[in-house]
Amino acid sequence: MLEAMTNRLLRIILVGVFAIQFGPPAGASVLQLEAPRIFEQSITHDLRLSEGSREIELAVGELFEDDGPASGHSYQKPENRETITSQAWIKKELIIPNPHAQAAYLVVLSDAPVEAIINGIAQHFGTNQSGRPLHQKYAFDPKLLQAGRNEFILRNSGKVMIARDDEFPLGSLTRTNHPGRSAKSTDGGKSWDCDHLGPDGKLQGEYGVRVFLEHYRSNGSLTLPVVDAGNLEGKAVAEPVTQTGPIEIAVEGETGPAGGILVRARTGDTYVPTEKHWTDWQDLGETGGVLRSPRGRYVQVAVDLSSSDPLQSPRLRAVRVEAKPTCPDDWTARLRVLEEQNEQIVRTSIPFEYEPLDHPRLKQLRTEYKLDEVVQGAQNELELLLRLAQWACNDWDWPNHIGECYPPWDALEILKPYQDGKPTGGFCLQFNLVFLQACESFGFVGRAVSISPGSCYERFKGGGHEIVEIWSNEWKKWVYVDGALAWYIVDEKTSVPLSIWEMRQHQLPTLRGEPVEPVRVIAAERTKNKQFPWKGLGGPDPSNWYLELRMIPRSNFLQAKSPLPLNQGTDEWSWTGHYVWTDAEVPAGLLFGHRVTKRGDFEWTLNQAHYVLEPDKAPGIFRVHLDTETPSFETFLAEIDAGEKKSVASVFTWTLHPGKNQLRVRPRNVAGREGIPSWIALEYAN
């Protein structure tokens, strides 16, 4: 009853806000955003669209672990696995602040079943539910958990991975030491030792024992893109404004008895926020408020959601922005838009870090291996990329040396001769790293993704593959080009090259017994690596599996040696730094806490120019604002009236003349590669 009254009261408050503040006066400019559009356009953290897609709520699913940074196969001795017997038991403690959940799962990095005692209560598990041979997943009653410290004892069977303390710095910049919450008993649980783990009692670290709870996160946030309060309708050409304020912001939603909503906003006089030109964030309370003295015509809104009960979430349905700008004589009425193309930037919530494209190791790779000769005569981007993939793929056969060593994530080190004279690199990840850095040496941006059947492992009888995607300015998208297999794949109907996410969409119908959309492989000649022919997306044994996609959130492997997964590709993918795509058809494994559900977060855009035209009070003058997401950005280039390209600042003045006026802008990176242009042509009657 109390919850219903609380929700009804907030609805009444919000309706009142909309009716009183937004009973739109003449001349008001209004932007109304509903939940799906808010979610699609915002930078979001720990939020999701509800099942009906009409509300935004806190994300569901939380992983508790402390072995993630150093989880994986270690080349150091002794072996980083603990064999559990009737006398050799292991204990893991996990801190869980609020354990209330709809469901709970014990996840253990073991290739054999385990028997557990959870907070003193013995458990009788059934079969492994993970769908993977290298880790176990078991459901248990979340009521067994308690707020704070929880104890998990494994006994009688299993062989559990140990994250070594001395390997933690590789996997994380902040979690560089193990917290000391793992212990071993050699006498059937009578006594415990935290400092002598492993088969010889010589290791310190953490056991690969994790808990995944299906409950709401405690906090989440979203940040909307910057909008022009003088042009909330989003017209190609705004009107001149002498006074922007006030700006009124309101949200529609429900907090519930345990939830909270906080609206924040900031304003500035440039389209791209900078400390010099923008205000600090201002709290507007639960339902929004009024910005009476904005810094400028540009405004940005953020909304925070929170809940003290993990079984309940607040709901956000809409955000409304209204401004009443003061406009002088509108000289833009004498303009006619002849043509326009203004690229829309899609930014990811993943904190991705890119390799500096002027890194000296890239230049050395390109020079030492004469890569300009490799790509000489290439007619377009994909032909150039495929030639680099062919070079990488045919440089050596695999596997080599992966049983003895794991080279650094550096193409020059991977290609360096080992004792037998062959390149040190061993398998698909190293082929693709060589290919990735070869592409970067030409000014292309890429990222490393691992793919596998995930929980469908038994159905497809396969392991996985390490690949890269390259951003193509020509196609305005991410494209999967395989540096180990020297191919890319296009949609059969459109001939458009596919990203790895799109490959997954093509493959999903096979799970439902439906025919797949046809694709075509564009492959270069391979003198080596012939043992992996393309077998198609359908059938019981496809040669590639695109169901679980795990992205490393950086490509700057030359600039920084960590964080990285420990020897990725030699064992189960269990590093918790991955960002993993998940959906209802094939949910991501419960090993991972960073779960991606929004396509824009996985397939963001790069190397575009987006412009905003701000009319000056003086007729015929625009203040042009430019925005971009260009790794290793160097400058913007502008062409005025089809003139030569000239470097311009992110804010510059464009003075019109009577007749046709043209503006074309694009970014350029430090490698000299020009990005995707935007343009507009206007006819001005003076």
Same domain for 84 and 101, yes or no, is: yes
Is residue 483 domain-shared with residue 504, that is, in the same domain? yes
Could you tell me if residue 352 is inside a domain?
no
Asked whether residue 94 falls in the same domain as residue 170, the answer is yes
In a domain, 347, yes or no: no
204 shares a domain with 106: yes
Distance CA 452, CA 544 (A): 8
444: nearest Cα among 414, 481, 393: 481
Judge whether 196 lies within some domain: yes
Residue 281 in 3-state DSSP? Answer: coil
Structural domain total, the chain? 4
11/117 same-domain check: no
Examine the domain organization and report whether 323 and 447 are in the same domain. no
Contact between 331 and 615 under an 8 Å Cβ cutoff? The reply is: yes
Among 224, 220, 241, 109, CA closest to 566: 109
670 pLDDT more than 50: yes
Residue-wise pLDDT tens digits, 512-528: 889 888 999 999 998 87
What residue ranges in 35-88 does DSSP mark as E strands?
A: 43-45, 47-49, 56-58, 60-64, 81-83
Asked if residue 508 is part of any domain, the answer here is yes
Nearest CA to 355 out of 298, 417, 440, 275 is that of 440
User: What is the rounded CA–CA span in Å between residue 361 and residue 209?
Assistant: 39
Same domain, residue pair 222 and 208: no
Average of per-residue pLDDT across 228-246: 93
Look at residues 244, 222, 250, 223 and name the one whose alpha carbon lies nearest to residue 232: 244
Asked whether residue 100 is assigned to any structural domain, the reply reads yes
Residue 385 and residue 300 share a domain: no
Q: Compute how many other C-beta atoms are within 10 angstroms of the C-beta atom of residue 283.
A: 11
Range of the domain at 111: 62-213
Same domain, 251 and 303: yes
User: pLDDT by residue (tens digit) across 592-642?
Assistant: 999 999 999 999 999 999 999 999 999 999 999 999 999 999 999 999 999
Identify the CATH number of the domain in which residue 648 sits: 2.60.40.10
Mean pLDDT of the chain: 93
pLDDT confidence tier of residue 541, bands split at 50, 70 and 90: low
Look up the CATH number of the domain holding residue 148: 2.60.120
- 225 plus 320 within the same structural domain: yes
- Strand runs labelled E in 391-540: 446-452, 465-472, 477-482, 487-491, 519-523
Determine the average pLDDT of the residues in 417-430. 91
Is 559 part of a structural domain of the chain?
yes
Here the tokens at position 599 are 């396509």
Q: What confidence category does residue 13 fall into, taking pLDDT thresholds of 50, 70 and 90?
A: very low
Do 273 and 388 belong to one domain?
no
Domain end marker among 581, 602, 623:
602
Pairwise CA distance, residues 142 & 51, whole Å = 23
- Are both 435 and 507 inside the same structural domain? yes
Residue 372 CB neighbour total at 10 angstroms: 11
Is pLDDT at 23 greater than 80 in this prediction?
no
Q: Give residue-wise pLDDT tens across range 107-129.
A: 999 999 999 999 999 999 999 99
Q: Is residue 241 part of a domain?
A: yes
| pLDDT given at position 44 | 98
607 within 8 A of 676, measured Cβ to Cβ: yes
427 vs 137, 208, 378, 424, 567, CA distance in Å?
A: 29, 26, 27, 10, 12
Q: Does residue 354 belong to any structural domain of this protein?
A: no
pTM of structure: 0.94
CA triplet 596, 597, 598: central angle to 5 degrees?
A: 105
